[in-house]
Amino acid sequence: MAGLASPLRVCRGILKELRAMQGPSYKRSLAYSYVMDQFRKNKVTGERYCRAQQEALHASHTYLCLLASTRSHQALHNLYHAKGECSTEEAAGLVGLRLPTQPGGKGWEK
């Protein structure tokens, strides 16, 4: 179907995702060495349409999609769905009310 992005872009994308996931020490991770290895191995080919190369490119594109979408999904989850229930003070504050206070303490409190 439509042409896949070039290997360089996919490789850069994967490295960006790994760096976002693991911080500055991403170069020491397993995934980094494996990905770089695979990209180097598949760079040179004698055929004009090398099936292994296309397969590897599709696989790398899929992996990039996996990393990017899990990160985006997690970010959206934290942004919109992670807060949980708010306390009674916050719930009252939503409509501009405050919780009632009883200066002498409630009847059953000391």
Partner 1 sequence: MNMFRRVFQLRNSFGNVISVCKSCPSHQYSKCLSKYSTASTERKRFYQDVSISQGDDGLYEINLDRRKLKTPGGKLFTVPNEALAIAVATEWDAQRGTLKFYTMHLTTLCNTALDNPTQRNKEQMINSALKFLETDTICYRVEDPPGLVDLQKNEWDPVLHWIENRYNVTIGSSSSILGPEIPQATKETFRQHLNSYSLWSLTGLEFVISQLKSILLSLGMVDRYLTVEQAVLLSRLEEEYQISHWGNVEWAHDYDMYELRARTAAGALFIQLSSENLTVKHKIMQD
- Which residues sit at the interface with partner 1, rule CB under 8 A? 1-2, 4, 18, 21-22, 29-31, 34, 41, 46, 52, 54-55, 58-59, 61-63, 65-66, 69-70, 72-74, 76-77, 79-81
Residues 37, 40, 46, 51, Cα dihedral to 10°: 60
Residue nearer to partner 1 on the CB measure, 72 or 99 = 72
Residue nearer to partner 1 on the CB measure, 37 or 90 = 37
Residue nearer to partner 1 on the CB measure, 1 or 104 = 1
The pair of structure tokens assigned to 102 is: 């009883």
Is the Cβ–Cβ distance between 99 and 92 less than 8 Å?
yes
- Taking the complex as a whole, the smallest distance from the CB of residue 94 to partner 1 amounts, in Å, to 18
- Taking the complex as a whole, the smallest distance from the CB of residue 7 to partner 1 amounts, in Å, to 14
Q: Taking CA 35 as the corner, what is the angle to CA 34 and CA 38, rounded to the nearest 5 degrees?
A: 85
Burial class (CB in 10 A: 0-12, 13-18, 19+), 22: middle
